[in-house]
Structure 1
Amino acid sequence: MTEDFTDRKDRASAWFRSLRDRITAAFEDLETRFDGPGAPGRFEVTPTSRADGGGGIMSVMRGGRVFEKVGVNWSAVHGTLGERAQKAMAARGVPGMADDPRFWASGISLVAHMVNPHTPAVHMNTRMFWTPGAWWFGGGADLNPCLEYPEDTAHFHAQLQAACDAHSPDYYSRFKAWADEYFFVPHRGRARGVGGIFYDDLNTGDWEADFAFTQAVGSAFLPAFLPVTERRLGTVWSDSDREAQLVHRGLYAEYNLVYDRGTKFGLETGHDASAVLMSLPPVAKWP
């Protein structure tokens, strides 16, 4: 493959950035609408850079009425993969790494840790990756409550299933199963949450169709997450609820530091460490 995909890279990068803008605006609006203590939270926006090429926007809100900490990052980076990253890509079947290890990647990554223990933490990301030998999309979303409400889980999954079903009848079952496997914490013998969908290396040969599906996943996030959050904002919580939340955050931190592909890739390719690790909770406990 010799095509450099310049126009498609630009389109994907611009769309991921527009999704970032929509989500941060919706989160700040939720902070304003919720009549909680203190001032409504606002994002601190910081540009990020990668020494080898490209950068992005790190948007982090701390100490809000709804969000104790939430990060919504966008990036578009490029350069040459290091030896470890090349080997990892080759192991995944990406051709041509030894001959031409150039890459380009763009995407959005979101992690929210909530004030109220009854409102679930959440993760979402979508991305496009290109090398001279291949291109693909990946992403997904998963809900991470410390105190689960079955109706919240059902709503979140229903929104993701609708996005999947509009593009392929087998996407939801495939990508839900992949999420159940991927978001599992082996050393704890349990899932980190109640799942969602996860996909990677998506290249059906039809770039437009795969991009449209990835857009659908990103666009499904707010309808999946906001109603669940709004439903629980007024729920009274106890010290024991807070304790359960902090211990669950410890599980989340363990997963992201030990197993998460995005964390590993970001650190190995020299992206801004603060942006890569923005997913970590502000406070956590371990039993």
Structure 2
Amino acid sequence: MTDMMETEKATASAWFRRLRDEIVAAFEGLEDSHAQGPLSDRAPGRFEVTETRRASEDGSDAGGGLMSVMRGGRVFEKVGVNVSTVYGQLGEAAQKAMMARKGLPGMADDPRFWASGISLVAHMQNPHVPAVHMNTRMFWTPHGWWFGGGSDLNPCIEYDEDTAHFHATQKAYLDPHGTGHYPRLKAWADEYFYIPHRHRARGVGGIFMDDYCTGDWQADFALTQDIGRAFLPAYMPLVERRRAQDWTDADKDAQLIHRGLYAEYNLVYDRGTKFGLATGHDANAVLMSLPPMAKWP
């Protein structure tokens, strides 16, 4: 499997990078076109791009990626679009987690891994514009490969028509792969993005899958690509619809409190955050998802 997967790994890594480039360009385009409404008198925001490296215990090359963060823009208060390809050996805790989740007793004998993906979180200036999260990824070990990811909407002020558009777009991109995918991945997102200690969902849902492998790499990769392709058509119209709305101090307060929920989830429950920190990836890149400001009641 090791030799046979090298082409597939390179193909997946290149795709995540292309998707990153497309999203970065689209988001900077939103900044440029925001000519009316709150904060339109500001200079348009731009991404700051930093190369990241994964730290390995023996100092050998362990991969890395690009961290792209925009702060204080016209439309985006903070948005990060990260892409990475990392590899090496899983530590003991990560091995145990893999064995528990995937039933791979051989991890202890050969703990090599390779992982590539894109991760995006956007926190918006205007409380009427929903925050959003998206990621897609591929994970490989000598014992198997898996895909994962999705996108979910996190408004502090909910609009039924925005939620409907977001979900309908996801469904339209998933249905060509089988009409059973959308309801299953929607239910998966509802379960995954739930905050147990608050007894509520993080947002209004979306789609999500993890540890996904049917044995057909091409089909699974095609599904993963369409999860990524669905993001901009699902989200951009919502930003364009809401970004010029006026907001009140009460609206902003509601946004900051809702961000507290987001921070709690990402620090306590999110598996991607735990994996990134446990495997030595750049901490700033891993914690990019945290909002610039939040508050708790």
- Among candidates 168, 174, 184, match of residue 184 of structure 2: 174
Q: Deviations over 1:147-205 (max 9, x none)?
A: 00000000000111111111011111111001000000000000010000010111111
Paired residue type of 2:31: E
Paired residue type of 2:19: L
Question: Where does residue 83 of structure 2 map in the other structure?
Answer: 74
Contact map agreement 1:2 1:133 (CA 8 A) in 2: no
2:265 counterpart of 1:261: no
Matches within 5 A, 1:243-258: 243-258=253-268
SS at match of 1:91: helix
How many residues matched? 287
- Among candidates 35, 42, 45, match of residue 38 of structure 1: 42
Question: Where does residue 13 of structure 1 map in the other structure?
Answer: 13
Question: Where does residue 60 of structure 1 map in the other structure?
Answer: 69
Q: Shift in Å at residue 2 of structure 1?
A: 4.6
Q: Shift in Å at residue 51 of structure 1?
A: 2.0
SS at match of 1:166: helix
Task: Using the TM superposition, name which of 150-159 and 166-175 deviates more.
Answer: 166-175
Paired residue type of 2:98: M
SS at match of 1:140: strand
Q: Deviations over 1:252-287 (max 9, x none)?
A: 000000000100000000000000000000000001
Q: Deviations over 1:110-136 (max 9, x none)?
A: 000000000000000000000000101
**Separation in 2, partners of 1:3, 1:164:** 31
Change (3 A) 1:265 1:4: farther
- Among candidates 92, 95, 98, match of residue 83 of structure 1: 92
Q: Shift in Å at residue 240 of structure 1?
A: 0.1
Contact map agreement 1:4 1:132 (CA 8 A) in 2: no
- Among candidates 110, 122, 126, match of residue 116 of structure 1: 126
Matches within 5 A, 1:109-148: 109-148=119-158
- Structure 2 unaligned segments of length 5 or more: list them: 57-61
SS at match of 2:292: coil
Question: Where does residue 193 of structure 1 map in the other structure?
Answer: 203
Question: Where does residue 110 of structure 2 map in the other structure?
Answer: 100
Q: Shift in Å at residue 37 of structure 1?
A: 2.4
2:21 counterpart of 1:25: no
SS at match of 1:92: helix
Question: Where does residue 59 of structure 2 map in the other structure?
Answer: none
Q: Shift in Å at residue 94 of structure 1?
A: 4.5
Identity %: 72
**Separation in 2, partners of 1:8, 1:231:** 39
**Separation in 1, partners of 2:227, 2:103:** 24
**Separation in 2, partners of 1:94, 1:148:** 40
SS at match of 2:165: helix
